[in-house]
Amino acid sequence: MLFRQLFDPETSTYTYLIADEASQIAVLVDPVLEQVERDRQLIKELGLRLGYCLETHIHADHITGSGKLRELTGCQTIVPFGADAVCADRKMQHGEVLQIGSVEIKAIATLGHTDSHLTYLVNQTHLLTGDSLLIRGCGRTDFQSGNAGALYDCITQNLFTLPDSTLVYPGHDYRGQTVSTIGEEKKYNPRFVGRDRSDFITLMGNLNLPNPKKIVEAVPANQRCGQAS
């Protein structure tokens, strides 16, 4: 398996390139519109063909590059089941698997940041958590039908039950961190350590964070797979 972590500095967004080296079919997870040419160039240099763009959720902080990439490459766009994105070619549900040669990408429901959010477990070792579980943090729950209780349940029941060695690759990081593990997050994540469900809901309800700068333009654009209206 080929695995690369790519970064958009403007929005602190991580995009992930995954490929089956035998078939040379590639997958991009959470591509950013402004980085489409970067991603296309890397895929070309590595001798790959883009087969799919996967979204963890409908983003509020950047516009996805999936629609543009579909236009340029003919790839399929995939979003979580329940996402308001009629533009997508396919919607994945909890437990569903996308098989790319020897690469298995399993969808795990991680609702709470939004009401339709998936984490992708790649070959049982690499966990792409989007905006659900972050390194020493988690996604906010105060807009886009967020639900702190649902986020707590999904992370503790669906993610923290995975092997401690599972690598955690988040959708964002604002402190220069790139990867963690399930074991580390269970032990050191301040949003969860020593907190029960009720404590977590209270904490998340009192963050008082400003809205993402691009929320007004990003959400409707991403409901169209990043394409202009």
Catalytic residues: 57, 59, 61-62, 113, 131, 172
Give the Cα separation of 71 and 224 in Å (integer).
13
DSSP H helical ranges for the chain: 36-45, 66-73, 148-154, 182-188, 197-204, 215-222
Number of Cβ within a 10 Å radius of residue 39? 23
Residues comprising the chain, all counted? 229
- 123: nearest Cα among 20, 10, 16, 226: 20
Residues 5 and 122 sit within 8 Å (Cβ to Cβ): no
